[in-house]
Amino acid sequence: MGEQQSALFPTYARFPITMVKGEGSRLWDDQGNEYLDFMAGLAVTGLGHAPKRVKERLVAQLDELWHTSNLFSTPQAEKVAQLLTANSCGDAVFFCNSGADANEAAIKLARRYNQKVLGNDRYEIITFKQSFHGRTLATLTATGQDKVKEGYLPLPQGFIHAPYNDVAALESYITDKTCAIMLELVQAEGGIIVADPDFVQEITRLCEKYNLLLIIDEVQTGLCRTGKLFAYQHYGIEPDIFTLAKALGSGFPVGAMVGKSKLIPAFTPGSHATTFGGTPIAMSAALATLEVMLADHLADEAARKGKLLVDKLEKALAGNAFVKEIRGTGLIIGIECVEPTADAIAAIHAKRLLVVPAGPMVIRLLPSLIVTDEEIDKAVEIIAGVLAEKEAERKQTAAK
């Protein structure tokens, strides 16, 4: 009998590896092979795999209460919301299940605030080319990449895509229908492109000038990843709304939208809802995760380790013509190459280091916040070795 056909829709181009166990920055596959994980589940397992303090909180909650619905108060949700607002510029939180859900809530809140509170008919949101905001119809339309939109026409109205880091062009995209500007401060899926400070300052100026809401998508950058608890804190700004997910639950599905107090009247009872957002189990995971991140000063650790990783990569890859640029901030780092990186990533995986692409030409590194200096050394050694081989192959091909 042949290999059993999968019962799953083939929506993922999966790596040919099946993981069965994780601990810290290590993963093991079903063949017993051990891997050093520099993907962190796409910036999800910030505290490493199966973090002890989160597990303890989850196990205790499983013995008490799993779900009641949002028709009742959840003490855990209040505690997480208080931690988020106490450590940010936000005043109120809406909990959901994913980054797409959080961005969907942000889009709805921006429109509803304008239409129900300010009493205007604005609904358009400016986003940016090469951005990524999710896979719902609204969030994939907000995304500035055509590849995620193929086959889903007609798309919802109300999204304008401006060039990223283009200060001069930005104001020309604002119309009398614009209600908000939404951006990632690091375009992760778009190739690890970091927002220029002048560009961000121009966005805040225009938001003030035209009375627009500023929405920051922190789904991948939030929660210490960039060397601050939230990426917007690098820029000295205060968004009206920012969104979180990925690392918030240490692998348990949790999303959050955080907003300023002026927006509270727009989200009245019945205006937005979710069945599973803010359950006792999800909030226990989020509470423990946040407590560990804050107590262990993991934002500072991410800043230090990220600098260490970049410095070591720059030294190890100096003179390698296969590498075009190393960029990023904190522990979200991209290695842009002069040729597609799929083969290089496969070779890195074969040496038991897990990395992930960020577009066709960029190798993305997302180690856990608890990665050790020794693990960084090992990862750099593997990456440098593989990319040296790729450069040698290029030279050999050119010589023929």
User: Is residue 82 located within the same domain as residue 103?
Assistant: yes
pLDDT at residue 103 above 70?
Answer: yes
Q: Phi, psi (5° rounding) for residue 108? A: -65, -40
**97 and 44, same structural domain?**
no
- Which pLDDT does position 227 carry in this prediction? 98
Q: Has residue 3 got a pLDDT over 70?
A: no
- pLDDT above 50 (res 1): no
Model pLDDT, residue 253: 97
Best CA proximity match to 164, nearest among 192, 209, 208, 196: 196
What is the Cα–Cα distance from 360 to 305, expressed in whole angstroms? 26
Instruction: Return d(Cα 146, Cα 190) in angstroms, integer.
Output: 12
Q: Average pLDDT for residues 264-270, to the nearest whole number?
A: 97
* Nearest by Cα to 277 from 138, 76, 111, 142: 76
pLDDT in tens, 335-385: 999 999 999 999 999 999 999 999 999 999 999 999 999 999 999 999 999
Question: Does the pLDDT value for residue 57 go beyond 90?
Answer: yes
Is residue 164 a part of any domain in this protein? yes
**Structural domain of residue 252, as residue ranges?**
52-295
Domain end: 295, 321, 346, which one? Answer: 295
Is the predicted pLDDT of residue 397 greater than 90, yes or no? no
Task: Please say if the pLDDT value at position 185 is more than 90.
Answer: yes
Residues 61 and 182 in one domain: yes
pLDDT, mean of residues 147-159? 97
The two tokens of residue 137 are 């119809």
Look at the chain and report how many structural domains it folds into: 2
pLDDT digits (tens, 9 = 90+) for 282-299: 999 999 999 999 999 999
Band of pLDDT at residue 5, cut at 50, 70 and 90: confident
Q: What is the pLDDT of residues 115-150, one digit of tens each?
A: 999 999 999 999 999 999 999 999 999 999 999 999
Q: CB atoms < 10 A from the CB of 167, how many?
A: 15
Integer CA distances (angstroms), 393 to 78, 320, 380, 397, in order: 56, 12, 20, 6
Which of 295, 319, 350 is the last residue in one of the domains? 295
In a shared domain, residues 28 and 114:
no
Q: Are 379 and 353 in contact (CB under 8 A)?
A: yes
In this predicted structure, the answer to whether residue 273 has a pLDDT above a threshold of 80 is yes
DSSP codes of every residue in 311-353: HHHHHHHTT-TTEEEEEEETTEEEEEESS--HHHHHHHHHTTE
What's the CATH code of the domain at 283?
3.40.640.10
pLDDT score for 398: 84
**Of 245, 274, 295, at which residue does a domain stop?**
295
pLDDT over 70 (residue 70):
yes
Mean pLDDT for the chain overall: 97
pLDDT at 2: 44
DSSP state of 135: S
Inside any domain, residue 94: yes
Residues 36, 147, single domain; the answer is no
CA dist 98 and 276 (Å) reads 11
